[in-house]
C-alpha cells in the first residue's frame, strides 16, 4: 500500500469525536464501579468517579457548556478502565473518556505557548525517530555524565518549580537506542514456527531498548522470525488519551501501511498501553473508507507479547529463576484487553520462580501514560497505596507488562520500596532462557 493512502485523511468530525448517546445510555448509574476507581478511592468525590464523570458527559451531550470544572474532572481520570471491568452493564468507559477528551480538545482555546508545546510533543517529537534520538541523547548526557547528580546536589531542581519536581520521573535513556534495529529481521532459533512483526514503540526505542531486545530474543527462542518493520511509528496511544485523534489516525494509517502486508502471523507489542490502542485502530478508523477494513485486519493480528506466548507451545528450556515475584496488572492489559491469565501463566512456567499475588493487583499504579507528570501529587498518592500492597506480598521482583508501569513502579520502589527489582514478564523469561543457554 503506497504512501498516497497513508496521506489520505478523513476529517475528524465533531459528530464522531464526542461521547455517543448509545454509549452513555448504557450506564444505569448503579455505582458498582465506584470502588474500582482509583481517583474516587483517593478523593471520595462523586464527580471524580466513573458514574459522576458519565453523568457530566450526559449533561454536555444534552447541551450544557464545557466548563473548567468538567475539563478538570475528565482530566483527572486515569483512563485506567478499572470501571469497565467492574461494570455489570457493559459500559465502555474507555471509549467514552477518550471521546470526551477529543471533544474538550476541539473546544478548548489554548495560549500560544501551550499550543506550541503540545503541537511539538504530539505532532513532531513522538512520531519522529530523529527528534526522539536527539532528545534521548540529551537525556543520556544529562543522566550519565554526572550532570544530573550535580544539578540535584546544588538544589537547582527546586528552583525549576514543577518541572524540577518531575525530573525524578524521567526514565533512563539506554544506549544504544533500539532505533538501529528498525528494518531488521531476526531469525528464529531452531525450527521456524511463526513470522511476527514487533512494534517497537516511540519513547521505548530510547528508554526501553533493552526490553525490546529481550522481547526479540524470547520470541526467537520460541521459533519466531522477528521483523522490526521499517516505516512503523508511534502507535498514537498518548494522542488518543489526550484527545488528539486526528494525529492518532495519521499514525494508525502509517503503522497499518508499514506492517499489514508483511505476511505476518502476528503483530506483537510488549507495551500494554500501546497494545490497547493498536487493537482499537478499527474504532479509530471506522469512518475511514480506505482504512476501515485494513484496520479490522490489523486488529485481528495484533497481540500482546504475553498473550502470544501463552497461546503457543512455549519453549520450556529455561534455567531456574530463584526469586519471589508478584505481578502488577497493567490496566490496559487487564481492563483494556481483558488479559490477566497470560502473564501469570508465563511467570509460573519459569522454574524456581515463587509467584505471590498482591492484594488489588489490578488497581492502577498511577502511571497512566503521562498522568504521573501532569498530576504528580495524586499519582504519587495512588502509587503509595500500591506500594503498601506490594509490601504485603514481600516480593523480590515486581513484574508487570507495560513500560509506563515499570517507570512508575521504579519511582515507587525508590520512595517506599524495599529494594525490589521491577521487571517486565518478558525480561524474566529472557533471564531464564539466557541462563539455560550458558
Ligand atoms: S458505569 Fe456501569 S457500574 Fe458504573 S454506574 Fe454506570 S452502569 Fe453502574
Ligand atoms: S478510567 Fe479509572 S480513573 Fe477513570 S473513571 Fe474509570 S476507574 Fe476511575
pLDDT at residue 301 in the model: 98
End-to-end CA distance of the chain: 44
Percent of the chain residues past pLDDT 90, beyond the cut: 84
Q: What is the mean pLDDT of residues 63-83?
A: 96
pLDDT at 158: 64
Ligand 1 binding residues, C-beta < 6 A: 27-33, 50-51, 54, 83, 86-87, 89, 91
Enclosing H/E stretch for 239? helix 237-242
Integer angstrom CA distances of residue 74 from 1, 19, 222, 224, 277: 38, 12, 43, 42, 19
| pTM over cut 0.85 | yes
Average pLDDT over residues 14-31: 92
Which residue puts its alpha carbon closest to atom 7 of ligand 1? 27
Closest listed ligand to the CA of 47: 2
Ligand with minimal distance to 83 CA = 2
Q: Could you identify the atom of ligand 1 that is nearest to the CA of residue 32?
A: 3
Predicted pLDDT of residue 369: 80
Residue nearest atom 6 of ligand 1, based on CA coordinates = 27
Which atom of ligand 2 is nearest to 76's Cα?
Answer: 3
Distance 21 CA to ligand 2 centre (A): 19
d(CA 134, CA 125): 10
Around ligand 2, the residues with Cβ closer than 6 Å are 36-39, 50, 53, 77-83, 93
Write down the mean pLDDT value for the chain: 93
Quick one: which of 198, 308, 202, 205 has its CA closest to 258? 198
Residue 162: pLDDT band (50, 70, 90) is low
Amino acid at each position: 500500500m503506497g504512501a498516497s493512502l497513508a496521506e489520505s485523511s478523513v476529517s475528524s468530525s465533531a459528530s464522531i469525536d464526542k461521547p455517543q448517546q448509545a454509549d452513555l445510555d448504557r450506564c444505569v448509574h448503579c455505582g458498582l464501579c465506584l470502588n474500582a476507581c482509583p481517583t474516587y478511592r483517593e478523593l471520595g468525590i462523586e464527580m471524580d468517579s466513573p458514574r459522576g464523570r458519565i453523568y457530566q458527559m450526559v449533561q454536555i451531550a444534552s447541551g450544557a457548556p464545557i466548563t473548567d470544572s468538567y475539563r478538570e474532572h475528565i482530566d483527572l481520570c486515569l483512563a485506567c478502565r478499572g470501571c469497565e471491568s467492574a461494570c455489570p452493564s457493559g459500559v465502555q468507559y474507555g471509549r467514552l473518556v477518550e471521546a470526551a477528551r477529543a471533544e474538550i480538545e476541539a473546544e478548548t482555546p489554548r495560549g500560544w505557548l501551550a499550543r506550541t508545546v503540545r503541537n511539538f510533543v504530539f505532532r513532531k517529537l513522538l512520531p519522529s525517530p530523529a527528534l526522539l534520538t536527539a532528545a534521548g541523547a540529551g537525556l543520556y548526557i544529562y543522566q550519565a555524565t554526572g550532570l544530573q547528580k550535580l544539578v540535584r546536589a546544588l538544589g537547582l531542581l527546586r528552583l525549576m518549580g514543577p518541572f524540577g519536581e518531575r525530573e525524578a520521573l524521567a526514565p533512563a535513556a539506554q544506549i544504544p537506542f533500539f532505533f538501529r534495529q528498525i528494518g531488521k529481521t531476526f531469525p528464529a532459533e531452531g525450527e521456524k514456527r511463526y513470522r511476527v512483526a514487533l512494534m517497537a514503540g516511540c519513547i521505548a526505542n530510547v528508554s526501553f531498548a533493552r526490553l525490546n531486545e529481550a522481547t526479540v530474543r524470547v520470541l526467537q527462542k520460541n521459533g519466531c522470525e522477528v521483523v522490526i518493520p521499517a516505516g512503523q511509528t508511534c502507535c498514537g496511544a498518548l494522542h488518543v488519551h489526550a484527545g488528539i485523534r486526528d494525529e492518532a489516525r495519521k499514525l494508525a494509517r502509517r503503522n497499518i501501511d508499514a506492517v499489514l502486508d508483511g505476511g505476518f502471523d502476528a503483530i506483537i507489542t510488549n507495551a500494554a498501553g500501546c497494545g490497547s490502542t493498536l487493537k482499537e485502530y478499527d474504532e479509530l478508523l471506522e469512518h475511514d473508507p480506505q482504512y476501515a477494513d485494513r484496520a479490522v485486519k490489523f486488529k485481528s493480528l495484533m497481540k500482546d507479547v504475553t498473550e502470544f506466548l501463552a497461546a503457543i507451545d512455549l519453549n520450556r528450556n529455561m534455567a531456574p529463576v530463584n526469586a519471589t515475584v508478584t505481578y502488577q496488572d497493567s490496566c490496559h492489559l487487564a481492563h483494556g484487553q481483558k488479559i490477566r491469565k497470560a502473564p501469570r501463566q508465563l511467570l509460573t512456567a519459569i522454574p524456581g520462580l515463587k509467584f505471590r499475588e498482591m492484594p488489588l493487583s489490578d488497581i492502577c499504579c498511577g502511571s497512566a501514560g503521562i498522568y504521573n507528570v501532569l498530576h504528580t501529587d495524586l499519582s504519587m498518592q495512588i502509587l503509595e497505596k500500591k506500594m503498601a500492597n506490594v509490601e504485603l506480598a514481600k516480593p523480590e521482583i515486581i513484574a508487570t507488562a507495560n513500560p509506563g508501569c515499570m517507570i512508575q513502579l521504579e519511582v515507587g520502589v525508590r520512595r517506599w520500596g524495599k529494594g525490589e527489582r521491577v521487571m517486565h514478564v518478558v525480561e524474566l523469561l529472557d533471564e531464564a532462557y539466557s541462563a539455560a543457554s550458558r
